[in-house]
Structure 1
Amino acid sequence: MTATDHAVELVHVAALAAGDKLGKELLAFDVSDQLAITDAFLLVSAGNDRQVKAIVDEVEDKLRDVGAKPIRREGQREGRWVLLDYGEIVVHVQHEEERRFYALERLWRDCPIIELPPEATGPA
């Protein structure tokens, strides 16, 4: 099983939004073979708490524009790691320190990578 076309489309929308707010190290995984609850993860790093919030706000706005509504949001208050669950996709926006510490990309490295639009990759 692979991520649905709709899930990949949502990942692209979210990635473009994150890139617009200078999200870093964007990486998307097709986790549909490993998890029954979602098709894809998008990982995004941010340099500070304020930037995490800006990225989250932009992702929510752009996904809302295409009709996607979050099922839940966690971590907004702390601003270090915000998880946005849209059912088909889950977006993780993490402060750079949390990204290095938790290393989700290592955990999901066996899953196929979803190619992101070049304009969505943000600064290296």
Structure 2
Amino acid sequence: MNSKEVIHQLAQTCDDKQAKNITALDMRDVSLVADYFLICHGNNERQVQAIARSIKDVRDDMDLPLKRMEGFEQGRWILVDLDDVVCHIFHKDDRLHYNLERLWGDAERIELSVNNAGDSYDL
């Protein structure tokens, strides 16, 4: 499975947990950190943790490497590093504050076919 297929599967996983404003960025031309960023948010800490847990479970099924997971205990900004794909799961208030989409504005957005991709959100 290539990285683009992985990002679509992970986006669907986030959507299944009712993540909001699911956004994928192609980072290959703008950063050495990862090929793709997947960014989404939940409305509270429990939902943020549930989304991250679901990503981790799907990652196990897809046999992807888990380099690290940070921020799970607080449930405000959880980073799940899957080597070529880095998932950022925010609490909605923290997503507004950090605004990664603006920070990485040079990155191309990837069209996702999930219900909560690109839903209205004031960034």
TM-score, L = length of structure 1: 0.89
Q: Partners in 2 of 1:118 and 1:62 — Cα distance? A: 16
Stretches of structure 1 lacking an aligned partner (at least 5 in a row):
none
Superposed structure 1 runs of 4+ greater than 4 Å apart: none
Give how far 1:104 is off. 0.4
Instruction: Tell me how many residue pairs correspond in the alignment.
Output: 120
Aligned residue in 1 for 2:2: 6
**Could you tell me the percent identity over the aligned residues?**
36
Correspondence for 1:94 among 85, 90, 103: 90
Match of 2:109 in 1: 113
> What RMSD in Å do the two structures reach over aligned CA positions?
1.7
Distance 2:14 2:22 in 1: 8
Rate the CA distance shift 1:42–1:16 in 2: closer, same or farther, 3 A.
same
1:25-78 deviations in whole A, cap 9, x for unaligned?
A: 000000111112310000011000000011011111112211113100110111
Paired position in structure 1 for 2:41:
45
TM-score normalised by the chain length of structure 2? 0.90
Residue 32 (str. 1) matches residue 28 (str. 2):
yes
Structure 2, unpaired ranges of 5+: none
Map residues 64-103 of structure 1 onto 2, 5 A cutoff: 64-103=60-99
| Conserved? CA contact 1:22–1:123, under 8 Å | no
Residue of structure 1 equivalent to 2:18: 22
